[in-house]
Amino acid sequence: MSTFNTLDDLDSNQRVLIRLDLNSPVSDGSARDNRRFDRHAETVRELADAGHRVVCMAHQGRPGNDSFISLKSHADILSSHIDRDVQFVADTYGADAIEAIRSLENGEVLLLENTRMVEEELPEEDPEVKAATDFVETLAAEFDAYINDAYSAAHRNHASLVGFPLVLPSYAGRVMQSEYEANTAIAEREFDGRVTMVIGGTKATDVIGVMNAIGDKIDTFCMGGIAGELFLRAAGHNVGYDIDDNDLYDTQWENNKATIESLLEERGDQIELAVDLAYADGNDERAEVEVAAIEEKDKSYLDIGSTSVAQYDPIIRDSEAVFVKGALGVFEDERFAVGTSGVLEAIAETDCFSVVGGGDTSRAIELYGMSEDDFSHVSIAGGAYIRALTGDPLPAVELLIDAAN
Ligand SMILES: Nc1ncnc2c1ncn2[C@@H]1O[C@H](COP(=O)(O)OP(=O)(O)OP(=O)(O)O)[C@@H](O)[C@H]1O
Ligand SMILES: O=C(O)[C@H](O)COP(=O)(O)O
């Protein structure tokens, strides 16, 4: 597949600016280690070993969310994965950042502060607009090359992703290369038997927006996570709204209500909803309730229930291909891992073609004693992977391809 320039095309001794996707779960104000660090470490290590000066950009969370934090802890985690120091500067493109960039020696690695702290990074705009921002112009002047390794963020038209390919020689990093090749090939595959997609996670908007586009390729959607609860709400149950400040449901409901309702109407026979949900009871133990018995939502539902898992299990075992996007519950807490681990184990035990995607979902594989080898492909991308399945191009990838031609 000849597409974009890769690290094999990079000249020696370059000052490189590389976009990673280190967007991670956050606890106690710090990032938690996950597969994204491990995978990007390969690209960063290769560049540093080759003697380039490596400056990394990445984002974390979204402004206004609890997970919108500094990248300081990310530098420490990345450093532990590449066995060399990763310097950190709490600045994006101001005087401190420029000084740190200019002080870098060959083979050294520096991580800049969270790109989403730059006002010009968001919102989504045309590449030409992003390329003309102070952020892109100022940083571009310090580098010989731009590398995009952030396949999992390539569906966003943000400055750090679409601005630089217009002003610097641009290359794909190793993660970009392998994820692009795998996900593009998968999007083109055809299957004879049942094709199932398991949908969970927190970013319901990303998946609901593409369910129609992939609906002709998918026979059955098994729903969980936030999207699952929103569908239950549309089906007339008293769930799928916020009962605390975490705005996981209400905004996504407002933005997707019409689409969910029309999906249920037009594709209702393809969509499997949970029949029971799990929560923490007064003793902090896992408890389950039938969806039909919920009169009012007065607690957070953190997993699908075991009857729902038993309902999804034969569907998965009868499938020729299973695509997973997002976790069915808060699997990081063992009490609420029943849905996610149950579904993943069913996939691992069959020989269907399987892809597991979702920024954090791949972590469940390791956490619950499975191996990545039990699946055909494990992607560290969530929204980008599901967009790729529709066959729609990813803006940041298209720009890398244009740059090579
Ligand atoms: N019912 C739920 N309530 C709160 N969080 C949930 C629930 N179900 C799943 N989650 C959380 O969803 C996260 C998994 O999301 P995942 O990273 O796979 O997809 P995403 O957040 O939707 O999107 P992306 O992969 O694009 O980042 C897990 O960290 C899990 O705790
Ligand atoms: O985690 C992800 O899926 C990517 O980093 C994109 O993050 P976003 O959904 O906040 O743009």
How far apart CA 222 and CA 150 sit, in angstroms, is: 28
Q: Which residues contact 269 (CB under 8 A, 6 or more apart)?
A: none
Q: Place 1 in a pLDDT band, splitting at 50, 70 and 90.
A: low
Rounded distance from Cα 317 to ligand 1 centre (Å): 24
Binding residues for substrate: 21-23, 36, 59-62, 116, 156
* H or E stretch at 40: helix 35-49
The bound ligand whose nearest atom lies closest to the alpha carbon of 279 is 1
pLDDT of residue 45: 98
Percent of the chain having pLDDT more than 90? 94
Residue 120 CA, chain-centre distance (Å), reads 22
* More confident site: 209 or 297: 297
pLDDT of residue 253: 98
How far apart CA 130 and CA 84 sit, in angstroms, is: 33
Q: Is the CB of 21 under 6 A from ligand 1?
A: no
Does the structure's ipTM exceed the value 0.90? Answer: yes
How far apart CA 256 and CA 84 sit, in angstroms, is: 45
Is residue 178's pLDDT more than 80? yes
Compute the mean pLDDT over every residue in the chain, rounded to the nearest whole number: 96
How far apart CA 55 and CA 183 sit, in angstroms, is: 27
* More confident site: 106 or 359: 106
Identify the CATH assignment for 184-374 out of 3.40.50.880, 3.40.50.80, 3.40.50.300, 3.40.50.1260.
Answer: 3.40.50.1260
* More confident site: 358 or 57: 57
CATH number of 7-180+394-404: 3.40.50.1260
Name the residue of 360, 380, 389 whose CB sits within 8 Å of the most ligand 1 atoms, as the mutation to test its pocket. 360
pLDDT of residue 201: 94
Binding residues for (2R)-3-phosphoglycerate: 36, 116, 156
pLDDT digits (tens, 9 = 90+) for 306-357: 999 999 999 999 999 999 999 999 999 999 999 999 999 999 999 999 999 9
What is the three-class DSSP state of 80? helix
Tell me what the mean pLDDT of segment 23-33 comes to: 95
Q: Which residues contact 389 (CB under 8 A, 6 or more apart)?
A: 183, 186, 187, 210, 214, 217, 323
Is residue 378's pLDDT more than 80? yes
How far apart CA 400 and CA 393 sit, in angstroms, is: 12
CATH 3.40.50.1260 domain position(s) in the chain: 7-180+394-404, 184-374
| 382 φ/ψ sector (left φ>0, alpha ψ -120 to 50, else beta) | alpha
pLDDT of residue 2: 52
Is residue 15's pLDDT more than 70? yes
